[in-house]
Structure formats: structure tokens, C-alpha cells
Amino acid sequence: MYAFEIERPATIEEAVRALSAEEAQPLAGGQTLIPTLKQRLAMPSVLVSLTGISGLRGIRTDEGGQLCIGASTTHAEVAAGAGVFPGLATMAGRIGDPAVRNRGTMGGSLANNDPSACYPAAALGAGATIVTDRREIAADDFFQGMFDTALDEGEIITEVRFPVPAASAYAKFEQPASRFALVGAFVARFPGGVRVAITGASEGGVFRWAEAEEALSRDFTASALEGVSVPSGDMIGDLHGTPEYRAHLVAIMTRRAVTAAA
């Protein structure tokens, strides 16, 4: 790793100030960033640790019934504490491995927007609201492509508010070495319709699968997806799978998620 300083601010205001420094970068749970630093793929001058900020951790339900999760809440804490939204809790409990889940945070995963990460699918699939130190961003506007989000330089996610669906599930086809999703599908049924978010598959990162949403909003069963397919044109192709294979998996994993949720 290149040399850098670490700051551990106690408040969001201090963190925002520290992040205004040249080449400063936020550090959440570090489960992606630290391996990246070891490979010298990032060269910050200052890492601003967000995990010491009080008030960024915890799970609550707001007056509107949304599940509000502090950005520094770990995957293990979501797995254990988000029981009112089983699809989310189960998804969090299957990220990485237990030690990774004890450090990795929801805010870190969303801000990184890895095209194969699980959390972006849950946030987009549930239609969550990403709250930052300065504004609220709908998940539909937040994810802007592989490793790209609507966050400005130095903007910090503080909380994510999830509408709790009537039924939901996440089905992940796991890449066994990395335990990231080769393809993951998050489906959520709300009174107003069904949302489907796919991770791991597209060159553009997480995306909503509109055709499946339409079919499932009419009939929330796996058989409603018969004949519904996603084009392979912008799917990822790598040594783990061709674009055609990933497109195939999108349909399969979505069906599995619907079966699990129904």
C-alpha cells in the first residue's frame, strides 16, 4: 500500500470537512477498499474512517413504516436485525463470509456500487431512498453505472430507507471463489406492483428488469416469466460466463427469487 493518513472523525460534519482535503477518500468497512489499496489501485492521501461516527449505525422503523438503516450498519447487523424485511435480512446474511459481514457496511457497498455486489440489487429492488449528509436520492437515480453513483465528491451516505414489501426475496448465483453474485435477482412485491433488480449481469451495473416487473405485476408466479428474457447485448462476458449465459441466469434467478418470495 502507498502511505496515507487515517482520520477517525466523530461527527458527520468533521468527516465532511476531512473529505474536502486533496485526495481524501472515505473508508467504511474496508472489505473492498483495503484489498484495493493493497493492489495499489487507489492512492489516497487521507482515508476518512466513517465507522467511528455515532448515529450512523442502527436499524429503526420510521412513522411511515419504512425500515431505516444507518449507513455504517454491518451486514451481520442487518442480517440479525432486519427481520421485518426478510428478503433484505437474508440477502445481507449471505454476503461474503461471517468475518466480512462483521466489518462490511451497507453504505460502503452502495457507495462502491460494484457491478456484482448484492446490496445495490436490494436497494434498487425495494425502491429505497439513499439519504446523504446533504440530500435524499431515490435508488432509481442513485446507481449510474459500474462503480458509479450519484454521490458527489465527499458526499457521505448516512442512512438508507427501505419501503417494506409485502413479499420479497433475493436469489444469488454465487461465484464460489469470491462469493460475489455471478448473477443476483432481487424481487419485491408491493401493493402498487412488483420491482425486479438484477446485479452481476450487466456492463452497466445493477438494473431494473422492466419486462419481468410487468409480467410479475400481473401474476406473481415463476410461470408468469415463461418466455420473458433479457437481451445479452450488454451483459458481462468474462472467464466465469458468457453474456448469453448471464442473460440465461437472469431469468433463472428471477424465477427462483419469485418462488422463494411467493
Partner 1 sequence: MSEVTMTVNGKPARGTIEGRTLLVEFLRDTLGLTGTHVGCDTSQCGACTVHVDGKAVKSCTMFAAEADGATVDTIEGQAAPDGTLNTIQQAFQDYHGLQCGFCTPGMVMSAAALLKDTPKPTEIEVRRYLQGNICRCTGYHNIVKAILAASGQDVTGIPGEIAAE
Helix, strand or coil, per DSSP, at residue 155: coil
In terms of DSSP bridges, do strands 157-162 and 167-174 run parallel, antiparallel, or are they unpaired? Answer: unpaired
2 binds partner 1 (CB under 8 A): yes
Nearer to partner 1, 34 or 146 (CB): 34
> Taking the CA of residue 43 as centre, how many other CA atoms within 13 Å lie in the half-sphere pointing to its CB?
2
98 binds partner 1 (CB under 8 A): yes
42 binds partner 1 (CB under 8 A): no
**Phi, psi (degrees; rounded to nearest 5) at 152:** -80, 165
86 binds partner 1 (CB under 8 A): no
Contact of 169 with 87, CB cutoff 8 Å: yes
Give the residue, chosen from 68, 86, 90, 103, that forms a contact with partner 1 under the rule CB under 8 A. Answer: 103
In terms of DSSP bridges, do strands 129-132 and 136-138 run parallel, antiparallel, or are they unpaired? Answer: antiparallel
Q: Which of residues 145-184 bind partner 1 (CB under 8 A)?
A: 177, 179
In terms of DSSP bridges, do strands 193-199 and 181-190 run parallel, antiparallel, or are they unpaired? Answer: antiparallel
Over 2-35, what HEC string results? Answer: CCCEEECCCCHHHHHHHHCCCCEEEECCCCCHHH
Give the residue, chosen from 26, 51, 132, 164, that forms a contact with partner 1 under the rule CB under 8 A. Answer: 51
Nearer to partner 1, 17 or 103 (CB): 103
List, as one string, the DSSP characters of 202-215: BTT-SEE-HHHHHH
Nearest CA-CA partner of 187 in 200, 199, 175, 202: 199
253 binds partner 1 (CB under 8 A): no
Give the residue, chosen from 9, 14, 17, 30, that forms a contact with partner 1 under the rule CB under 8 A. Answer: 30
Give the residue, chosen from 96, 145, 163, 204, that forms a contact with partner 1 under the rule CB under 8 A. Answer: 96
35 binds partner 1 (CB under 8 A): yes
Nearest-approach distance from CB 34 to partner 1, in angstroms: 5
Give the residue, chosen from 22, 97, 152, 153, that forms a contact with partner 1 under the rule CB under 8 A. Answer: 97
Handedness of CA 62, 112, 94, 260 (dihedral sign): positive
Piece of the chain touching partner 1 by CB under 8 A; list 90-98, 108-116, 165-173, 246-254: 90-98
Nearest-approach distance from CB 7 to partner 1, in angstroms: 9
Give the residue, chosen from 21, 34, 42, 68, that forms a contact with partner 1 under the rule CB under 8 A. Answer: 34
Across the strands, what pairs with 7? Answer: 48
5 binds partner 1 (CB under 8 A): yes
Helix, strand or coil, per DSSP, at residue 46: strand
47 binds partner 1 (CB under 8 A): yes
240 binds partner 1 (CB under 8 A): no
Counting every residue, how long is the chain?
Answer: 262
Residues near partner 1 (CB under 8 A): 1-6, 8, 27, 30-31, 34-35, 37-38, 47, 49, 51, 76, 96-100, 102-103, 177, 179
